[in-house]
Chain A
Amino acid sequence: MTVETVAERPARTRGALGRAAASPLARLVARRVLIAIPLLLAISVLVFALLEAMPGDPARNQAGMDASEEEVAALRAQMGLDRPAVERYLGWLLGALGGDLGRSSVSGQTVSSMLAERMPVTLEIVLLAFIVSLAVALPVALMAARKPGGLFDRAVMVSSMTLLAIPNYVLALLLVLVFAVLLRSLPAIGYVPLADGLLPNLRSVTLPVLALSIPLACFYARFLRGDLVEQINTADYVETARAKGLGPWRVLWVHAFRNSSFGLLTLVGLNIGVLVGGTVIIEQIFAMPGMGTMMLQGAMSRDVAVVQACVFIFAAVAVFANLFVDVMYAVLDPRIRYGSH
């Protein structure tokens, strides 16, 4: 047995790190992370500038119509609006880098504590919506692609197009009408935390998750079905697989799907931002105390710290989701890792 001395360990670690640093995958990740940082910084500047450029006075807005100029001026000072914009932005940025996202100018609560309370709600909805949409889209697309033009395929194409044409908020209201008003089987609004029981929690999130995942599932199913059909009809490797005597399901699942999954992966990455953004409306409709509602309330009251933090997190999720997709690409396809594609 080799006895590893304490002195040896750092060297070995360095060696491993060094090897990792040298690997194309690690370089790819490092490069993308380096790109993500200025991107997020630019987003934060843009959001701040947009909030600044919005017409109207947040202090006056908050103070109401019958407040005097002195009261508004005092509120403006209290909200820090009497300081130059650059100073306020830099103050926010420095705080954010140190983990301090500031305080809500409306409620006085720290933005971090507000996020800690609300982020789990949004995360749960988004994650479940993501899982449900893929869980529905994959089998549906595979079954539809097995017999293109068949009854099932046509039913999928028509119904998915119809559902895609319905705006998100209308779909949400329709779901409430059917499941809450007519059937009375699910709650129309409200969120039950997981701590209050798994079943009540799942019941409370079912409709918001459906409202978010149905359009997404339709979108994924249509895309994947189209890609699979194209692969089956045109790709040489499919012909080869068939020539080997493989059954249609095996050709579809093992060969065509593996290639189509690249396109789907890209789509999923791109759609994570859309999914997170969709929570703003959906959380509002279902009275879910999540980040979407928090951001909307912040925007309505021009609560810069709140909006800035929410938009920044939403943007970060979108950026890192895309980074994850890029990495997955590289993991699945070595040509990308080595920069040959």
Chain B
Amino acid sequence: MNITASRPRRSGRRAGALAATLALMLGAAACTSPGASGAGSTGGGDPQSGGAITVLLDAGFSGGWPTGLDPATSSSVGANMGQNSAIFGGLFRIEAAEDGSDAEVVPDQAESYEYSEDGLTLTVTLREGIEFSDGTPLDARAVLWNWIRALSSGSVSAPRLSLDLERETPELEQAFLDELFAALPEDVDRDLVMQRLGAIVAVDDRTLEIHLAAVNGALVNSLPGTNMNFIASPTAYAELGAEEFAEKPVAAGPFVVVKNSLSDRLELERNPNYFKEGQPYLDGLTFQSVAGDQVAYQTLQSGQGDAIEGLSSVTLIGQAQGNPDVTVTPGAPTSPYVVQLNTRKPPFDDRRAREAIYYATDFGAINEGLFNGEGDMSQSFTASGGLFWEPEVAGYREYDPEKAAELVDELGGLTVELGTTDIVTARSVTTALQQQWGEAGIDVAIEAKPLGDVITKFTSGDWESMLQTAGAWEPAAGIGVDVRFGSTSPYSGTPLPEGASTSADALERGLRTELDDVLASAVATIDQDERRVRYQEAAKIISDEAYGPFGMAFSPAQVARAGVHGPGLTTPIPALAVNTAVLYDEVWVEQ
């Protein structure tokens, strides 16, 4: 039996209901704050066509697109979801109910998808008649060209696909191969490309098959956050060349690029060839990079900007909620804070030390103190906006300073280095933790470093504890639970498999821990209910073994001037990775 879906099967109804309740509570809280307006509601009546808006992006994150906008070579596809979805649209997109609940990945430029009975083949059918803005067809041939480039051009935004590379490569037109290889790096592994062309096949003009070596139940959920979702015109690439194409890619999304100054300003105008009748509503859309939240908010107030994607300063969000001229939409929370504990070296190789951290940590108080209580509490690796959310895990060790102090006494004292990424919010949380842990007799040294240095620290293995955010909407995508807790991930502090000396050794010998097996089984099925059960097991193991206490998930808010409406902007959509994917083809302004 084939499982056919124009939409994936809904899952997590309980989580959805809870998410809806919490989102409503958050929405209600926002509405009770003075002057809050429009949070959680598009409002404003029927969409109107016309007008243009400028969206302000933080230069330190989504406001940087230094490697250009060719998805195959860009190093910041995930951060630039707004720009990419505006230019390329997408084969798939994530949609949610008005309150951010019941989010699901649905076909967009694709018409449907279907898993084979064994789960090893994903068939994607494209909508009929879609054209790129240069008038050439967005057909299976174009998608194949894009997918092979996405996987072979060195972008770090390519998905990890375990393709069946043993399949025979079908006969392909020489013209297609020439066009493809001309668009790939000179030093590309040609044999591997040919193998990939055996695993990814254009069956006819509208149908593609992806043949996998192992079942991947998270594949479709992951795709919208990767470069494989964004399909560009091969003809335009051949005409423009790599450099100009990266600056002004040609695609079939709602908008076309007019002017692009890298990591500074991107000006777009309506694509008259867009396949959805009457959309996009906007005539023009500009993305402007600005230096941080304060500048973004002032620019919005000055009238030079119409919306801010991802305002994260709690103080400014509070100010904005009191401003009757703007709507503030809290993001659907997906990624809770977690204190990862490195079990591979002292002091956290001793389970009692890890338990002491659990008992000494009061994330609830930090949520109240630093996030005005608006963070979404979690005991596992996703929050209410994410898939497979478990608000409570049986046996989870809650705040109990006396127990913590007892354990510290038993250990004869506990000295801990707590690392984090050097951003204001994370520093504030570590400072609060330092104080809480200090009350239990734990001596804490905070080490806040730039992200690159934190990554180096992780990969060196020379760390004790790290405050990070965990998970994503789909736990198996992005910096998901495997990255934080899989034993062979360079960013994990969970124990190595028995008998393994290093992660590399474990990988080479195929050694795994119980948690590794559970996490792998959570992906190795397309049955979403089965996946939920597996992730519950994973959450229980992490909790029982005290690998890291979880805290609040706080998502940045979208801020828009009154009169601007649209999904993802004035209603929440869970972030696939970090950023909410605004559906810009549905954004409109009151005329």
Contacts and interface: CB of A to CB of B under 8 A. Distances in A.
Interface of A: 55-58, 60-67, 69, 71, 74-75, 78, 104, 106-109, 173, 176-177, 180-181, 184, 187-190, 284-285, 287, 289, 293, 297, 300-302
B75 A64 contact: yes
A301 B298 contact: no
Contacts of B451: 61
Interface residues of B, number: 41
Interface in B38-85: 59-60, 64, 66-68, 75, 78
20 contacts: A55-B453, A57-B452, A57-B456, A60-B456, A64-B75, A64-B78, A75-B154, A177-B298, A181-B301, A181-B302, A188-B299, A188-B302, A189-B288, A189-B295, A190-B304, A284-B59, A285-B291, A287-B288, A287-B290, A297-B64
Interface in B93-135: none
A74 B298 contact: no
Contacts of B479: 65-66
Interface stretch (B229-237, B259-267, B393-401): B259-267
A151 to B, nearest CB: 35
Contacts of B304: 180, 187-190
A60 B455 contact: yes
A33 to B, nearest CB: 36
A96 B68 CA distance: 25
Contacts of A107: 66-68, 262
A55 B479 CA distance: 23
A75 B67 CA distance: 13
Given A71-B154, A177-B298, A184-B303, A65 B66 contact: no
B323 to A, nearest CB: 11
Contact of B288 (A78, A173, A190): A190
Contacts, number: 109
B456 A56 contact: yes
B463 to A, nearest CB: 13
* Residue from A55, A177, A189, A293 with most neighbouring chain B CB atoms (10 Å): A189
Contact of A302 (B78, B303, B452, B478): B452
A189 B290 contact: yes
Interface of B: 59-60, 64, 66-68, 75, 78, 154, 156, 243, 261-265, 288-291, 294-295, 298-299, 301-304, 449-453, 455-456, 459, 478-479, 483, 490-491
Nearest to B154: A74
Contacts of B301: 180-181
B478 A66 contact: yes
A299 to B, nearest CB: 10
A41 B67 CA distance: 30
Given A187-B304, A287-B290, A287-B291, A66 B156 contact: yes
Give 6 nearest A-B pairs by CB, closest first. A61-B452, A180-B302, A56-B452, A188-B302, A284-B291, A56-B453
A106 B66 contact: yes
A207 B451 CA distance: 32
Contacts of A180: 298-299, 301-302, 304
A130 to B, nearest CB: 23
A302 B452 CA distance: 10
Contacts of B265: 190, 287, 289
